[in-house]
A = this chain, B = another copy of it.
Amino acid sequence: MAGSSFGNIFRISTWGESHGKAIGVVVDGCPAGIELNEEIIQAYLDRRKPGQNRFSTQRAEGDKVEILSGVFEGETTGTPISMIVHNKDQHSKDYSEIASYYRPGHADFTFDAKYGFRDYRGGGRSSGRETIGRVAAGAIAMTALKSMGIEVTAYTAQIGNVKCDREKIEKVNILKSPIYMPDLEASERAMEALDFSRAEMDSMGGIVDCVITGVPAGVGEPVFDKLDATLAKAVMSIGAVKGVQIGSGFEVASKRGSENNDEFTGESQSENSAFKISKFFDEDGELISNIKSTNHAGGILGGISDSDPILVSAAFKPTPSIAKTQSTINKKGEQIDINIKGRHDPVIVPRAVVVVESMAAITVFDLLLSSMTSRMDKIKEFFGR
């Protein structure tokens, strides 16, 4: 069944295999009149590009995006926006061997089980390159949201056991860290740990946090299409993610109601509905809030935004492709030892930051558009009736 589309109104459909001719995305339902060009998209794609630092694969993927439709005279037209990135630098030979066996931690076995065979070159459709389409589409959502005063900001919160101190996190530092870790001390320690791990032919995992500010209250549909539920799907659908949480997340399990409840404080909602902030956490490391005493809820109540900053966190597993010898089975079911060749990221997390940002932006923009039809009085006003 079709599974390569996401979103209801602002709807993206990605396509492409890592070693096919190209990778791309079609964005349907994008409103007309958003300023758009290839430079805007490219800036986001460059943040997921490999080869940015010593911790990402040294493949020289050019990843130049081309807009094929849906933009006219510098603006979106309301019709589908098709974007393409041609695949280059394909060392397909590196992968010929893996056709015969199932790499641990990869989707080789399950794709064969599902489809009877697979495009084994570089992971095919299950490759991380699939996220190129997500980021290109996310760039459009992000551009639209920004024009409304809504900011979506992701960063590396943890690599292995090295965590950012939340009170030290400053937005301006994200891009200062080669691994997008805005507590710059933690960033240094994480890079040392990564050097160590790589030397041992191993890989590391981590956590990406994403904060969304300026979302008006009322975004998210009750019951199944809640903002948090949709964010959970959006983020869990990224290749290596094994956990997602909102606000205080798993910590709530051990809290009392009196500790976890956020009391409403009566601050004017309108003043903070669209705001740019340099820090997301206060001096106690608590997520900031404008309308509540605390923000354990992470800006979402009953699945609907409350106008406070939204926090979503995602746990990424360590890159499954490691140089160390591993045991597995081949297609005949025989036990074999393998050494995965090719150039692989010793950690996925830094390159995944912009992917999380993209999925969050797509989700928020789609549900923001959905929320326009929730009140009859506003609908009549919209049509001047």
Residues of B close to A376: CB separation below 8 A: 31-34, 76, 144, 147
Task: Name A242-273 residues within 8 Å CB distance of B.
Answer: 242-266, 268-269
Contact B224 A5 (CB under 8 A): yes
Partner of A254, one of B160, B250, B296: B160
Residues of B close to A315: CB separation below 8 A: 245, 249-253
Contact B243 A249 (CB under 8 A): yes
Partner of A246, one of B242, B263, B324: B242
Task: Name A199-244 residues within 8 Å CB distance of B.
Answer: 200, 202-207, 216-218, 220-226, 228-237, 239, 242-244
A117 and B32 contact, Cβ closer than 8 Å, known pairs A105-B261, A244-B236, A303-B107: yes
A222 and B373 contact, Cβ closer than 8 Å, known pairs A250-B243, A254-B161, A328-B263: no
Q: Is A119 an interface residue (CB 8 A)?
A: yes
Contact B302 A257 (CB under 8 A): no
A124 to B68, CA, bound (A): 13
Q: Is A58 an interface residue (CB 8 A)?
A: no
Q: How many residues of A contact B (CB 8 A)?
A: 172
Which of A11, A253, A255, A316 has the most chain B CB within a 10 Å cutoff? A253
Task: Name A2-25 residues within 8 Å CB distance of B.
Answer: 2-11, 13-17, 20-24
A373 to B256, CA, bound (A): 42
Contact string, A151-174, partner B, CB cutoff 8 A, digits 1/0?
000000010110000000000000
Q: Is A317 an interface residue (CB 8 A)?
A: yes
Q: Is A75 an interface residue (CB 8 A)?
A: yes
Contact B217 A113 (CB under 8 A): yes
A371 and B114 contact, Cβ closer than 8 Å, known pairs A301-B106, A318-B255: yes
Residues of B close to A217: CB separation below 8 A: 109-110, 113-114
Say how many copies of this protein the assembly contains.
4
Contact string, A70-84, partner B, CB cutoff 8 A, digits 1/0?
101101111111101
Task: Name A316-353 residues within 8 Å CB distance of B.
Answer: 316-322, 324, 326-329, 333-335
Contact A2 B6 (CB under 8 A): no
A262 and B224 contact, Cβ closer than 8 Å, known pairs A202-B256, A242-B247, A252-B318: no
A378 to B32, CA, bound (A): 10
A333 and B266 contact, Cβ closer than 8 Å, known pairs A11-B2, A205-B254, A316-B252: yes
Contact A204 B4 (CB under 8 A): no
Task: Name A365-385 residues within 8 Å CB distance of B.
Answer: 368-380, 382-383, 385
Q: Is A178 an interface residue (CB 8 A)?
A: no
A263 and B104 contact, Cβ closer than 8 Å, known pairs A28-B4, A318-B252: yes
Q: How far is the CB of A175 from chain B (nearest CB, A)?
A: 22
Q: Is A29 an interface residue (CB 8 A)?
A: yes
Contact string, A178-208, partner B, CB cutoff 8 A, digits 1/0?
0000000000000000000100101111110
Contact A33 B302 (CB under 8 A): no
Q: Is A297 an interface residue (CB 8 A)?
A: yes
A305 and B110 contact, Cβ closer than 8 Å, known pairs A255-B317, A256-B202: yes
Given A31-B376, A77-B119; 15 other pairs, CB 8 A cutoff = A6-B224, A14-B80, A33-B376, A68-B84, A102-B264, A104-B263, A106-B301, A113-B218, A148-B383, A202-B256, A226-B237, A232-B244, A243-B243, A263-B327, A266-B334
Q: List 8 A-B contacts (CB under 8 A).
A: A4-B80, A6-B224, A23-B69, A106-B302, A223-B237, A228-B236, A228-B242, A243-B244
